[in-house]
Amino acid sequence: MAMTDWTIIRRSMSSRTFSTITTILTVAIAVGLMLTLLAMRDSGRKAFDRGTGNMHALISADSSPLVSVLNCIFYADPPARPISWPKYQQLINTYPFEYAIPTQQGDSYQGLPVLATTPEFFARFSPDPEFDPAVPQEQQDSSAWVLKEGRFFETSFEVVVGSRAATERTISVGDQIRLFHGVETSRKSNIVSEPHIHEEYPYTVVGILEPTGSAHDRAIFTDLTSSWIIHAHDRRTNADSNASMTTEADLTDADKLITGIYARIISRQGRDASSVLPQVLSQLRSDPTVTVAQPSEEIASLFSIVSNIDEILIAMAAAVMVSSGIAIMLALYNSMEQRRRQIAVLRVLGCNRLRIFGLVLTESAIIGIAGGLAGWLIAFVGTAAVAAVLKDRIGLVVQPTFEPQIVYTVLVSSLALASLAGLIPAIAAYQTSVAKNLKPTD
């Protein structure tokens, strides 16, 4: 029975199993690395864009707009400097805000950030940039917040828990929790700090949110007034250890501090921003006591900063792919040197030079295809691992996606490189002398 080309190639590859598998793995790692980098680059950008939500501006007292966005929206660290309540009232009475939602950070629960705010946060702000609070919900494809169970907080000392926070800490509706003043661990050093627990004021969990795909999924939300009360109580007990329980009536202006303002400028229905937005932002930025950030622009700026690193990593991945092509060439060339006698026998049995050339080239292409497909699987595992780390470390929910065009381009490139790498071994096989390599050997 005549041997088919496939049988010849299969036996050739199986005769050097270790070398074949090693070469395929080299290609797979290169392809997997390239696809992982490309998928995470686009998905990471989308995740950051999704987290900024439908606000037009973020107002804080942080050192820079970018730091403000990372702290107040992505919970990188608690903002260092507060804004007074009289300052907040001055701002909302001066500028045409559609909403200006006060927020306060600084407390935590078992390592999770706590955001103190007002009920307006859930009614008007949304992690979805497309949500327009001026348009009735039934007329929109997007939404503000969706509850998995329970309700939003309505009074002091009630909390609503993000989806991931509830899962990580096994929190259920009806549970009572006590917040920590400060954060329990430092993100930068992983050294345990010494916050104290607000023992006197338990909070009741009244709602758990559906996932939003943003950093807010790892946060706990509570009423702003209750946050003021527990910190005012610390102040009063430090001055007098026998002080009675603090109520809202005991609050002073010095107690009413916030760390950020989620702001949206009044705009016409169906429009993302009004014509007055640049003017309002310019006026706000002229105030030296506050820092004004446009979250979407800051994220764009952040990605422009890291784009050079991104390009370097992709170039390195491309270099690894080229190296894998060289590995294919060396493996096949060495194989040709060892199998010249076998090639000569095939020539005697009827394989012409062009067929031998095609067999070697096809073997090289098969290695490229196998490595490319294995690399695609590696990329799935790699992106899932990177996404899990980002979610665990900074609460950023990244949903890796593989654009068909990108996957196609990388896989075709892998095939092309493998085929190109097979040219030199194929030429060597083509030039193999029958007479010289069939001489008897002692």
Q: In angstroms, what CA-CA distances link 402 with 17, 215, 316, 375, 391?
A: 31, 22, 20, 13, 19
Q: What is the crossing angle of helices 404-421 and 353-394, to 10°? A: 140
Phi-psi region of 75 (alpha: psi -120 to 50; beta: other; left: phi over 0): left
Q: Does 442 score more than 60 pLDDT?
A: no
Q: Where are the alpha helices (DSSP H) in 130-186?
A: 163-168
Q: What is the mean pLDDT of residues 249-273?
A: 82
208/186: higher pLDDT: 208
d(CA 43, CA 385): 14
Domain extent listing, the chain: 5-47+302-437, 57-293
At 33, the amino acid letter reads L
Convert the pLDDT of each residue in 117-159 to its tens digit: 999 999 999 988 888 888 877 777 767 899 999 999 999 999 9
Beta-bridge mates of residue 203: 177
Contacts of 292 (CB under 8 A, 6+ apart): 57, 58, 59, 65, 281, 284, 285
Structure-block tokens of residue 1: 């029975």
294/326: higher pLDDT: 294
Q: What is the pLDDT of residue 205?
A: 97
The neighbour count for residue 166, using CB atoms within 10 Å, is: 24
Q: What is the pLDDT of residue 190?
A: 45
Contacts of 301 (CB under 8 A, 6+ apart): 66
Contact call for residues 101 and 54 (beta carbons, < 8 A): no
- The model carries a pTM of 0.73
Structure-block tokens of residue 226: 């209750």
d(CA 68, CA 76): 10
289/321: higher pLDDT: 289
The neighbour count for residue 136, using CB atoms within 10 Å, is: 7
Q: What is the pLDDT of residue 113?
A: 93
3-state secondary structure of 98: strand
DSSP assignment, residue 249? G
Contact call for residues 339 and 425 (beta carbons, < 8 A): no
d(CA 421, CA 347): 23
Q: What is the total residue count of the chain? A: 442
Q: Does 240 score more than 70 pLDDT?
A: yes
Q: What is the mean pLDDT of residues 33-57?
A: 82
What is the Cα 177 distance to its own chain's centre? Answer: 29
Q: What is the mean pLDDT of residues 362-382?
A: 88
Give me the percent of the chain exceeding a pLDDT of 90.
Answer: 33
